[in-house]
Amino acid sequence: MKIVLDKSTLINYMNQYNDNVYSLASRMNVSPSTIYRILKSERNVGSNLIVKLLKAFNLAEKDFDKFFRFISSY
């Protein structure tokens, strides 16, 4: 199984928080290039990034399914 980010949800949350790539990266304590790579599907999301993303938008672990879904990696 692979964890996939719903990019449209991320963009919606970024708009709600008046975030751009730089402000979100700053709040997550990651480089802006990390956010760009995620948005372009050039990078997968790992557990650290998942936690940082949820915290950036004041979400709890139970809100995981707002941003992420599992897909078969076959």
Supply the range of the domain harboring residue 17: 2-60
| Residues present in the chain in total | 74
Q: Is residue 11's pLDDT more than 70?
A: yes
Does residue 68 lie within any of the structural domains?
no
Does residue 44 lie within any of the structural domains?
yes
Does residue 29 lie within any of the structural domains?
yes
- Per-residue pLDDT of 15-35, as tens digits, reads 999 999 999 999 999 999 999
DSSP conformation letters of 10-72: HHHHHHHTT--HHHHHHHHTS-HHHHHHHHTT-S---HHHHHHHHHHTT--GGGHHHHEEEE-
CATH number at residue 21: 1.10.260.40
Question: Distance between CA 17 and CA 40 in Å, rounded?
Answer: 20
- Per-residue pLDDT of 40-69, as tens digits, reads 988 888 889 999 999 999 999 888 988 898
Global pTM reads: 0.84
> In total, how many domains does the chain have?
1
